[in-house]
Amino acid sequence: MRTLKAIVKIDGDKQISEIDSRIYGSLLEHMGRAIYTGIYQPDHELSDEDGFRTDVIDAVRKLKVPIIRYPGGNFLSGYNWEDGIGPKEKRPKRLDLAWRSIETNQFGIHEFMKWSKKVGSSPDMGVNLGTRGMDAARNLVEYCNFPAGTYWSDLRIKNGAKNPFNIKTWSLGNEMDGDWQIGHKTADEYGRLAHETAKVMKLVDPTIELIASGSSLRTMKTFGSWEETVLDHTYDDVEYLSLHQYYGNEKNDLENFLSRSVDLDEFIQDIISVADSVKARKHSKKTINLSFDEWNVWYHSNNKDAKAEPWRIGPDLLEDHYNFEDALLVGSMMMTLLRHADRVKIACLAQLVNVIAPIMTNSDGQPSVWYQSIFYPFMQLSNYGRGTVIDTVMDVPAYSTEDINVVPYVDSVSVVNSETNQLVIFVENKSKETIEFKSKIENLKLSSVVLATEFAGYGLKQTNENQEMRIKFQTRNQLNGDDFNAELKPLSWNMFCIKLV
């Protein structure tokens, strides 16, 4: 087997940005088994006094997810938040038109806030701009964030939360550019509504940050023009613009599938260009950052979901069982987001539990919780990729696909973690060949390799129901002064932690 070479230059003086920890966020939507029999199952033997599954809490803590978008997703656009507060026996059952399910509302805002605290996360709370609008939104902010002495704040206290929730991050609707969305709007319609909604929300609480709804996919016909029009209306009102993107491998073409991280990079660059053009046209000093608050691989469950029986409680929807090649793309997509850490401040792997998720549960039987293949690269990035992203210049072999001219066989990003005083190099080999990875590191004094791991050696279509997948120690590496070299196995995800002097 031939060996390819990849040469990487890492310069400690060339910093891209400090990483906002919210880039390791996720999404919990009222759909499928994400909530019911996912994080909330009062009759389960492992559930606590609040009905929260402790095995799931432990799994989420391992991912160190700092922010979770809630309650949707498409569900948001038909949701009445008032249905999920107050005594549970009085909460109404509703038809969820987004996913053609029955919503019991046994899990609502109070339950989510209590659960978030237990897993160490903060919320990105969505407001319904599909069937509702500014009045419901301002009332929700008052309910959650106003201390006391008004109708909604006193109702929160009556419902058991004396102290305000102080939710700081809010999303103005979901995927409003999509015709599948309940209450879909044109860019002008949404932009005007988002502007007026932002206005009243910030009158209630001026400290909150807002996310405007951007394109649902890069392939949308309105992509680009949607962002421009929406920002024309909301530029002075919001701090972030959202992006969503999912990829699949329906054609079973590995090289094309793994090239999707390059498409993701182009998507981000395009949106930055649009946002900055609006900034220039408005003569504004404010910069709009990005919230990539839905991203993942999603396609395995499509055929099954198309035949799903409607109007069930917590049906098994979007339960993709991820394989090893999916984990490689997820790792590469996350590295792409990190390379844009100067503008991508929030990102949400969609979703967190059971629904296109890294964590799966069994309602009964063993194992009660199991980790999908995508759990492992995301866990390493979230745990070790904290600090400052360092610019990386690569000279690596590449290939081309139908629609992408240059796809590097090696994908890499480097982070200086000031808390651990380490340089952390994440690197993925997308090739079916062994690669000699040679890195020249400048303006950083290296001491020793303290941790080297790899996720490799599995079949491309292998899934992890049997929990055989593991992060393993990587021994084929060497540090010589300012040079760090390693041998990367074919189709492998790798992480190297190097102690700094």
- List C-alpha distances in Å: 16 to 113, 233, 263: 34, 30, 20
Q: What are phi and psi of 115, to 5 degrees?
A: -65, -40
What is the separation, in whole angstroms, between the first and last Cα of the chain?
Answer: 38
Gap between the Cα atoms of 258 and 243, Å rounded: 20
Q: How many CB atoms lie within 10 A of CB 309?
A: 7
- Please report how many Cα atoms fall inside a 13 Å half-sphere around the Cα of residue 55, on the Cβ side: 21
Helix (H, G, I), strand (E, B) or coil at 394: strand
Distance CA 349, CA 27 (A): 6
Residue 209 appears among annotated catalytic residues: no
- Which is catalytic among the residues 142, 227, 294, 325? 294
How far, in Å, are 117, 181, 277, 495 from residue 87 at the CA level?
21, 30, 49, 48
Assigned token pair, 109: 């805002």
294 is catalytic: yes
Which residue among the candidates 82, 103, 111, 175 is catalytic per the annotation? Answer: 175
Question: Residues 379, 383, 384, CA angle at the centre, nearest 5°?
Answer: 115
> CA-CA distances (angstroms) from residue 472 to 41, 463, 468, 478?
33, 17, 12, 17
| % helix, strand, coil for the chain, step of 5 | 30, 30, 40
Beta bridge pairs of residue 371: 359
Give residues with Cβ within 8 angstroms of 307, minimum separation 6: none
The alpha carbons of the chain give a radius of gyration, in whole angstroms, of 23
Which residue numbers are catalytic?
175, 294
